């Protein structure tokens, strides 16, 4: 189908350079009564990388998708140009009166701070509450998953000794859940974080269902209710070179960093990364779109 993206949106050319044909709404007539409207609150500092990752996972969707990009007003991004933010993002206050079919909240490099220390925490809490009443289903990613679980259910995050960094095998605890339709029994997911959740905290909360986990990263995918919210601690949307760039950045700064696990061929950075998670990740995003976003709205 097609994606509704603004004219000149950087992700379009980036993905076409990867050999992924992004069919924009301007290039094709709609073939469904109305587009699926998904808002994305992008909290990551390098906006264009995250935009490309999100567009990539929806690029082969059979639906026409209207992606709307949201920003918080109580924080100014230091890594994105004012021109980019003005051209492609709207503040929460301008979108608060609207209803969306789905909502995605990305991670942010804030995990070692207490939530209340985040400068835009109060605004973020208002956005979370708005999403609960204005959106059929929300996908919270990485730090946003921890923030959402803390806000809605009082679930704490815990620091880990060594950074959880690499590609790890995961197992489904509820393979019957539609979010796992056509996903293999064991599937790989990228992780990059200094904090974790405890499974006993999730299991003790009757409103939550622990859907998948891994031996090293631990809790992976948590569902609230019947799919109103999904909290995912990994990054199935990551591009193949994301962890490589992060590793080389930390090495160049002299920071303590280990090789990302199960990532480089023969554990050798010079041989490059092995892409082992994309098909599973796109399948999970496609299932969220089909079984939770589209199925709960009228098209």
Q: pTM of the predicted model, to two decimals?
A: 0.92
Spatial separation of the C-alpha atoms in residues 116 and 119, rounded to whole Å: 8
Would you list the domain boundaries of the chain? Answer: 3-239+278-294, 241-274
Q: What is the pLDDT of residue 11?
A: 87
Q: What is the pLDDT of residue 1?
A: 53
Q: What is the pLDDT of residue 16?
A: 83
Q: What is the pLDDT of residue 153?
A: 98
CA-nearest of 9, 122, 123 to 71 is 123
Q: What is the pLDDT of residue 237?
A: 96
Q: What is the pLDDT of residue 291?
A: 97
pLDDT, tens digit (0-9, with 9 covering 90-100), for 180-229: 999 999 999 999 999 999 999 999 999 999 999 999 999 999 999 899 99
Q: What is the pLDDT of residue 131?
A: 96
Spatial separation of the C-alpha atoms in residues 159 and 165, rounded to whole Å: 14
Where does 76-194 have alpha helices with state H? 82-88, 92-95, 121-134, 143-153
The domain at 3-239+278-294 falls in which architecture? 3-Layer(aba) Sandwich (3.40)
Give CA angle at 287 (46, 59), nearest 5°. Answer: 50
**Which active-site residues does the annotation give?**
142, 235, 237
Spatial separation of the C-alpha atoms in residues 109 and 2, rounded to whole Å: 31
Strands 102-105 and 89-91 come out as: unpaired
CA-nearest of 215, 165, 166, 190 to 280 is 190
Which residues in the chain show pLDDT less than 50? none
């Amino acid at each position: 189908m097609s994606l509704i993206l603004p004219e000149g949106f950087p992700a379009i050319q980036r993905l076409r350079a990867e050999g992924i044909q992004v069919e924009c709404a301007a290039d094709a007539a709609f073939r469904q009564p109305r587009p699926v409207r998904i808002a994305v609150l992008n909290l990551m500092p390098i906006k264009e990388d995250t935009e490309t990752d999100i567009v990539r996972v929806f690029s082969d969707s059979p639906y026409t998708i209207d992606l709307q990009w949201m920003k918080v007003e109580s924080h100014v991004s230091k890594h994105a140009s004012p021109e980019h933010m003005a051209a492609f993002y709207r503040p929460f206050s301008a979108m608060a009166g609207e209803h969306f079919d789905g909502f995605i909240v990305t991670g942010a490099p804030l995990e070692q701070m207490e939530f209340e220390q985040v400068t835009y925490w109060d605004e973020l809490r208002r956005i979370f509450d708005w999403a609960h009443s204005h959106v059929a289903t929300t996908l919270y990613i990485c730090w946003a998953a921890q923030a959402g679980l803390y806000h809605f259910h009082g679930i704490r995050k815990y620091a880990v000794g060594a950074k959880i960094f690499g590609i790890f095998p995961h197992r489904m605890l509820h393979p019957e859940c539609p979010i796992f339709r056509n996903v293999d029994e064991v599937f790989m997911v990228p992780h990059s974080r200094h904090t974790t959740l405890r499974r006993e905290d999730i299991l003790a909360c009757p409103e939550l269902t622990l859907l998948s986990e891994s031996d090293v990263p631990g809790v992976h995918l948590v569902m609230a209710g019947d799919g109103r919210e999904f909290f995912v601690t990994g990054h199935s949307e990551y591009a193949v070179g994301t962890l490589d760039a992060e590793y080389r950045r930390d090495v160049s700064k002299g920071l303590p960093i280990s090789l990302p696990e199960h990532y480089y061929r023969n554990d050798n950075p010079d041989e490059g990364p092995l892409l082992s998670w994309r098909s599973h990740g796109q399948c999970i995003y496609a299932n969220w779109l089909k079984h939770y976003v589209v199925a709960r709205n009228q098209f």
